[in-house]
A and B are shown apart, each in its own frame.
Chain A
Amino acid sequence: MTLAVVLALAAGTYGIRFAGPQLRNRITVPARVQMLLSMAATALLLALVAVNAFVPGGKFGGWALAAGVFVGGVAAWRKVPFVLVVVLAAATTAALRLVGVA
């Protein structure tokens, strides 16, 4: 692991992050496209949720993780305060792991 690896990853990542807002600022995005972009971003966020809940690291992440996210999800849906959603999810997964659920 060298400084060169860190700098390459940092530069590439920053480039990716800088390009989006920059491109958006250069061109005028029609309202319809803007709406689709916003929907696509929501899809990406929900995909992040699903992948991290069910298949983190490429394979099934275990029942403790899935159950924790599910409990957090139900709590969010029932309009439980955001802080509690996060705490409930983590606590459920931690408790299940404590009693030996994978």
Chain B
Amino acid sequence: MIRNVSPIALTAFVTGASFGAIAVAAHIPIWLVCAMSLLVFAGGSQFMVVGIVAAGGSPIAAVFAGLLLNARHLPFGLAIGDVLGERLATRVIGSHILVDESVAFAMAQGDRKRAKAAFWTCGLALLLTWNSGTLVGALIGQVIGDPNRFGMDAAFPAAMFALVLPALKDRVTLRVALLGAAIAVATTPFLPPGIPVVLAALGVIAALPTRKKAVTA
């Protein structure tokens, strides 16, 4: 488990460092940059909001855009919310680490117990590396340069693909996921960021004609 989480956690560290560097370059005080990574803990929306505000955009529009991007976490929570546990306390803490990677890791597991372990291990590891990365990046600033030079932008989708692959063995799930991904890519040029990914849920129409049958998660 830890061996599998490590590369994702490392990617989060490098990306977090680039966020810290970019945010400091946009004249945001270090304490605020670190507070943002700790409290928001959603990389894409953090880059987006800093980018919009730095470009002179309205703060309200920036927050709205960031929240649209994070809207996908609602269906994620609906799908795997049970791995957070029954107690309110664990759901309060678990909700904060409900991120793309922890959801994908949980869903890639065969049974509930392993899914739970995967969710918490991945979520907490990312919380640690994303925030330490942000701090390091904010401190050393411009030295980091563009993380995409190291192919960091390819690491995230490749890792996520490896995690969804087992679920795609099921024929119906494969049809649903392919239709959903096609909808998302096709609508991306026309819709605000975040919405196309949520629209991918419409892929379930590919499952509706089928009869009830057991599906291996």
Contact = CB atoms under 8 A, between A and B. Distances in A.
B92 interface: yes
Contact of B32 (A6, A53, A75, A82): A6
Interface string B82-122: 10101000011011101010011001000000000000000
Interface string A2-35: 1111111110111011111111110000001001
Interface residues on chain A, size class: 35 or more
A31 to B, nearest CB: 8
Nearest to A67: B154
A40 B176 contact: yes
B28 interface: yes
B142 interface: no
A41 B197 CA distance: 10
A13 B73 contact: yes
Contacts, number: 302
Chain B's interface: helix, strand, loop or mixed, by majority?
Answer: helix
Contacts of A76: 158, 161-162, 165
Given A16-B70, A39-B177, A48 B39 contact: no
Contact of B177 (A20, A43, A72, A95): A43
A99 interface: no
Contact of A42 (B71, B73, B96, B164): B164
Contact of B66 (A13, A71, A75): A13
Given A59-B189, A89-B151, A9 B74 contact: no
A21 B204 contact: no
B135 interface: no
Given A18-B95, A47-B183, A55-B188, A83 B6 contact: yes
The 4 closest A-B pairs by CB, nearest first: A20-B77, A72-B158, A43-B180, A21-B81
Interface of B: 3-4, 6-8, 11, 23, 26-28, 32, 35-36, 39-42, 45-46, 49-50, 53-54, 59, 62-63, 66-67, 70-82, 84, 86, 91-92, 94-96, 98, 100, 103-104, 107, 148-165, 167-168, 172-173, 176-185, 188-189, 193, 196-201, 203-204, 207, 212, 215, 217
5 contacts: A18-B95, A20-B73, A40-B203, A72-B159, A86-B162
Interface of A: 1-10, 12-14, 16-25, 32, 35-59, 61, 64-65, 68-69, 71-73, 75-77, 82-83, 85-95, 97
